[in-house]
Structure 1
Amino acid sequence: MARFTADFIVTRPDADRFIAFVAQDFFQKEGFQYVSFKGENVWRKGMGALAAPRFMKLEFKDGRVHLEAWLRTVWLPGVYGKEMDLTGAWGFAVKELFRGTVQQLIGLLQQPQMVNGTQQPPHMQPQMSCGEQAAPSCGKIQAAGPEPQQPVPVIVHSTQGSAVLALVMGLVGLLGLLIPIAGIVCGVIAILSGMKGRCSPAGGMATAGFILGIIAIVLSAASWALTVIVAFMRL
């Protein structure tokens, strides 16, 4: 199987609950769905209409994490070909974005546990919750015990950066009238990033980038076709 794999240890007293909490939040914000695919329970995003379907498999026990990530080629809607890892020239734009997504998840799972600027003592048994006062990109772990403890901040996933990327790539993609291939690549990135960023506080920006990405692809394709027609007529 052609898959990216990563194995690491989460060194926290509440490791498994922490992993489940952060991963669930991450996959929901990224638009992944938990499905059974070819005998495996995996997180899947996309059906292949625009980009290759993306898959992640996350297993953990006692803080030991095993992560796999891969894509699949698509022949027809719902008909998939072979697996692809996150390297190679084919579909590099989609692979690069997905590689960044995977690294974000790994970074979130490996974040240090801190209380008031110091590492949390091992005897504390925290309980995770997302309170109303939590920032959009930060959950909280409320420590349990005979006396009230300070909440332990937990950094969770934010897709606001994807919204910004979508808008930038959508605007750059309009240059596809001059450089069609660049317009198509930027347009694809804008669409994928826009889909990801629509759940963030910058959802309007993500939607604008998504629309600009579609326009960029259409203009680039039209420019490319016009160039081919003109070249053919000159023969």
Structure 2
Amino acid sequence: MARYVKDLVLNKPEDFVTFIMNDYLQKNQFVVSEWKGEPAYRTGDALIEGYKYLKWSYENGTLHLEAWMKSTFGKEMGLDGFVGALQKKPYREGIEQLFHVLEQAIPEVGMNEMTGQQGMNGANGQPKSQPVPVKTVDNSGAATMALVFGILAFGISFLSPLLSIILAILGYSRARIGMQSALKGRAKAGRNFCIVAIVLSIILWVTNLVLTIMVR
């Protein structure tokens, strides 16, 4: 399946786009890597979430972004379709939030008036420009969802191990993202619940299978 490709017309300053993109990459724990010799950013893991890849560029006011995942067999996998849907959904949601942040209106930058106070002027006596407040990617929602999925996964592990594992995978992927938010503690608790739920579900699943074979 072809990778996800988006060309978003922004017509924003390059330093603004670079700042938002670097903030997104840092909060989602992307690292510089490569995909079959092609430079790209990578995040995730091979066991639960799967590896997620991203590359971007910004030219002539247009952001070009490509995103994909690594399939179980090491092939490129897009962000649509049923296969790997549990891992794809939070990744796609995060990218859509990124686009929303990039499309925000940038406030006009005003200049401080000459007041004569020390520290108010910049070089050569010129007034300093005020910092521009902009909205960045917020992963607090992911932290909350991680805790919710983690508690549900743990609670249902005794009744339905398979459903518990599905919920735990959803929670774990969001916990990693939420670890870079203001609700880090909530994300960490959710991650722990998810890990315990996965281990417990596997133990119960195997135990049930062994008992079934023994009865027969």
TM-score range, shorter chain: 0.7 to 0.9
More strand by share: 1
The CA distance in 2 between the partners of 1:177 and 1:197, in whole Å, is 27
Partner of 2:151: 171
| Aligned pairs (5 A) from 1:43-62 | 43-62=41-60
Instruction: Describe how 1:194-205 pairs up with structure 2 within 5 A.
Output: 194-205=175-186
Give unpaired runs (5+ residues) of structure 1. 76-80, 127-145
1:9: how far off? Answer: 0.6
- Which residue identity lines up with residue 9 of structure 2 in the other structure? I
Q: 1:222 Cα deviation (Å)?
A: 2.0
Aligned residue type for 1:50: I
**Bigger relative CO (Cα 8 Å, ≥ 6 apart):** 2
CA shift, 1:213, in A, is 0.3
Shift of 1:30: 0.6
Aligned to 1:110, which of 103, 118, 141?
103
Structure 2 counterpart of 1:157: 137
Residues 1:221 and 2:214 are matched in the alignment: no
Q: 1:137 maps to which residue?
A: none
Q: Which residue is 2:189 aligned to?
A: 208
Q: How does 1:12-161 map to 2 (within 5 A)?
A: 12=12, 14=13, 16-74=14-72, 81-113=74-106, 115=107, 120=108, 151-161=131-141
Partners in 1 of 2:79 and 2:86 — Cα distance? Answer: 10
State the alpha-carbon separation in 2 of the partners of residues 125 and 104 from structure 1. Answer: 28
| Larger radius of gyration between Structure 1 and Structure 2 | 2
Shift of 1:39: 3.2
Structure 1 residue aligned with 2:123: none
Counterpart-to-counterpart distance in 2, 1:155 and 1:183: 35
**How far apart, in 1, do the equivalents of 2:212 and 2:100 lie?**
50
The aligned length equals 201
Secondary structure in 1 matching 2:193: helix
Matched, 1:2 2:2: yes
Provide the TM-score with structure 2 as the length reference: 0.83
In the superposition, the TM-score normalised over structure 1's length comes to 0.77
Match in the other structure for 1:181: 162
- Pairwise CA distance, 1:194: 1.7
Residue by residue over 1:65-85, the C-alpha shift from the partner in whole angstroms, topping out at 9 and shown as x without a partner, is 11111001245xxxxx11001
Separation of aligned partners in 2, 1:40 and 1:105? 23
- How far apart, CA to CA, are the structure 1 residues paired with 2:175 and 2:97? 17
